[in-house]
A and B are shown apart, each in its own frame.
Chain A
């Protein structure tokens, strides 16, 4: 799994690729929590190259969501493949997160969402 961070004005995009499981999720967690504590108003997670995510990865996303509420950071996901979306739906989390189809939609809409997640 690879994790890279792109920083722009008022926004961080975390590009994640590969499998997110017990072994790799700590790397995603570190990057995600760092960005959510950095003071940037919005953080987006690009999941278009995430081929697999298990409960460890989902736990990381939930932890990020909770931190985003504490830091009042807008937090969104985009580019989910069908298997990642299915896992979020099974866990009934697909309505809790701000989920966008792709990077373009995420960039257009993230500034308009409440910085409290999708609840």
Chain B
């Protein structure tokens, strides 16, 4: 399933609602669904704020694919290329506003990485295994692959 919206922050709740519904259909608990919705919200917020510099009329799309053991998301934008090495969550003991979005994404997703083969803009791939169905090589939550 694919959802395309403009980059207006008033539309973020639509992404959250669709993610909650779709991943529960795929077998995730309401609690897990809330975390996944938040991770997508945070990823889209990063695009709006940083990639699009709060421009409200740019393109943003979310692709959701479900499998027996996992759900995969692809969040695409048409902005300038993001350098993954520039994105780092702030240390949690550094008490200041902001800087937590990437941390929350890593908390709720098993994998998060930019698709280097995406030609125009950025495609952030996010993956979450159903509980107890992680891949043999998966070492647990919050693993980030770049």
Q: Determine, out of B21-29, B38-46, B109-117, B119-127, the stretch whose residues face the partner at the interface.
A: B38-46
Given A54-B42, A91-B92: A21 and B98 interface contact (C-beta under 8 Å):
no
Q: Determine, out of A40-48, A58-66, A72-80, the stretch whose residues face the partner at the interface.
A: A58-66
Which of B12, B41, B103 is A91 in contact with, Cβ under 8 Å?
B103
Min CB distance, B77 to chain A, in Å? 15
In the complex, the answer to whether B9 meets A22 with C-beta atoms within 8 Å is: yes
Min CB distance, B87 to chain A, in Å? 13
In the complex, the answer to whether B100 meets A58 with C-beta atoms within 8 Å is: yes
Question: Is B95 part of the binding interface, using a Cβ–Cβ cutoff of 8 Å?
Answer: yes
Q: How far is the CA of A90 from the CA of B34 in the complex (A)?
A: 14
In the complex, the answer to whether A22 meets B95 with C-beta atoms within 8 Å is: no
Q: How far is the CA of A22 from the CA of B12 in the complex (A)?
A: 8
In the complex, the answer to whether A19 meets B13 with C-beta atoms within 8 Å is: yes
Q: How far is the CA of A19 from the CA of B41 in the complex (A)?
A: 12
Question: Is B97 part of the binding interface, using a Cβ–Cβ cutoff of 8 Å?
Answer: yes
Q: Which of A56, A62, A65 has the most CB of B within 10 A?
A: A56
Question: Is B73 part of the binding interface, using a Cβ–Cβ cutoff of 8 Å?
Answer: no
Interface string of B79-102 (1 = CB under 8 A from A): 000000000000011011110110
Number of residues on chain A facing chain B (CB within 8 A)? 22
A-side contacts of B138, CB under 8 Å: none
In the complex, the answer to whether B98 meets A55 with C-beta atoms within 8 Å is: yes
Question: Is A5 part of the binding interface, using a Cβ–Cβ cutoff of 8 Å?
Answer: no
Min CB distance, B39 to chain A, in Å? 10
B-side contacts of A66, CB under 8 Å: 95-97
Footprint of B on A, CB under 8 Å?
19, 21-23, 52, 54-56, 58-60, 62-63, 65-66, 83, 87, 90-93, 96
Q: A55-B42, A62-B97, A91-B92 provided; 4 other pairs, C-beta below 8 A?
A: A52-B38, A59-B97, A91-B103, A96-B95
